[in-house]
Amino acid sequence: MKKILIMCGLVVLIIAILFIVNNHKKDFNSVIAVMCEGEEYTEIYDIGYLTITFNDNKFTRKTIQVKNNELKSELSSSNVNDIIGANVFVHIPYKIIKEKHMYVESLNSLELMLNTSEYDMYYEIADVSYR
């Protein structure tokens, strides 16, 4: 009987440890490749901002951060009207995911970007493509 109780206790302990390990707080990270047109590039307080228009039905406009120094200097010296696409990093902290009750497994970064401006601060331009 003691052996059974000890084994049951070990099983419960193992399950509890697995639950705790698998339920740790995770940020949401993603990369999106979008077809878009560049409109304007500005720098404010050492952070670049690229305004792009998406090639969707609504011609959605977004102004997205650029933090990469090489990309910032490239955008400063090039014609942003020649941009035809961009790679965008998405990083939404766990705290925001929890507050907004977001279900990460079914989260579509592109739809989130096109349909709301609530999470724009969590997007960053990683690279651009030119004509």
- Domain definitions of the chain by residue range: 26-130
Map residue 61 onto helix, strand or coil.
Answer: strand
Do 45 and 65 form a contact (C-beta atoms < 8 A)?
Answer: no
> Model confidence at 54, in pLDDT bands (50, 70, 90)?
confident
Interatomic CA distance for residues 60 and 13, integer angstroms: 51
> Model confidence at 103, in pLDDT bands (50, 70, 90)?
confident
Q: Which of 25-29, 32-36, 56-60 has the highest mean pLDDT?
A: 32-36
Count of residues in the chain: 131
Average pLDDT over residues 92-114: 83
pLDDT at 4: 73
pLDDT at 24: 60
- DSSP-derived secondary structure letter, 58: T
Average pLDDT over residues 100-113: 81
